[in-house]
Amino acid sequence: MGERHGFSTAALAAVLAQAESQPTILEAMSRPAERTLTWYGYRERFLNEQRIIEGVAFWQEHRELLDEISRAQGVPPQYLVAILGVETYYGRITGRYRVIDALSTLAFDYPPRSGYFTDELEQFLVLAREESLDPFTPLGSYAGAMGAPQFMPRSMRKYAVDGDGDGKRDLWSGWPDVIASVANYFRVHGWQPDAPVLVEAEIDQAHARDLDTRRLDLTETVGSLREKGVLFDPSLPDDAAAMLLAADEPHAMRFRVGLQNFHVITRYNRSALYAMAVYDLARELTARVSRDDATG
């Protein structure tokens, strides 16, 4: 840190000496993985009535700001709201661990991912200096994700923006900064304005064994999926990049096709279930807000 970023080694040692290792973080990281969640089980976690009601209220409260940022960045407001809803219940649940404790614990006491978290600790300390933050003040998740959008330090340094022009990037309570930063993340990762995100599909069962629904990369095209017996919106161009998704329901398997904008959502969290939850929540919020607007 001294050689790369010009930190005083004595001052940095004093800061790190006050970081506290958290056994509960190590337990959370080392806990055996839960059973694989089904899509319908995962969906129930994020599309419950409370999350929808709070999302509608958040959208209505910040509508002018959302519309302004949406026009500037090309990302529809429903996806900005849905990301915040899935991540932190619209900023209500942002984590209870001091970020420096979380990152220090995982950098120094968790060998399997020490390299990654050492880098994030480095980024956090640089970020604290850049933003004039007391390094002991920010709270976040047990993995060190911060603020309403749950950015890791490297992502915050790279993608967070000053949405209100006050010279700071406040991702905890500065809604112009929070919303503009999520929109910027989407834009930088290739969001296509006015383009579809996901379409429902059916499969010709004779071709089912040739299909792979496990990939999160755009290794297929609309045309190649059609050639493999996947049936969906005929208006989509054959050369559009695509991925096939499995959405298991209680009594059947449903299939969907994710497009470029769906892929962008998976850059926020590399999980097809996560991205589908964001998509479905965004659709539900849109329907509710539209209905409220229509009824006055």
Strands (E), 62-155: 97-98, 139-140
Q: Which residues pair with 248 in a beta bridge?
A: 253
Q: How many residues does the chain have?
A: 296
Nearest residue to 83 (alpha-carbon basis) of 6, 195, 184: 184
Does residue 87 carry a catalytic annotation?
yes
Among residues 87, 122, 220, 284, the one annotated as catalytic is 87
The type of residue at 260 is: Q
Dihedrals phi, psi of 258, to nearest 5 degrees: -90, 140
Both tokens assigned to 30:
């080392």
Q: Give the C-alpha separation, 291 to 253, whole Å.
A: 30
Nearest residue to 134 (alpha-carbon basis) of 99, 90, 165: 99
Both tokens assigned to 195:
């383009």
Q: Give the C-alpha separation, 212 to 198, whole Å.
A: 17
Q: Are 267 and 191 in contact (CB under 8 A)?
A: no
Block residue for tokens 């060998």: 111
Q: Give the C-alpha separation, 65 to 71, whole Å.
A: 10
Nearest residue to 156 (alpha-carbon basis) of 118, 188, 185, 117: 185
Strands (E), the chain: 97-98, 139-140, 198-203, 220-221, 230-231, 241-249, 252-258
Both tokens assigned to 251:
């009594």
Reduced to 3 states (helix: H, G, I; strand: E, B; else coil), residue 249 is strand
- Which residues does the annotation mark as catalytic? 87
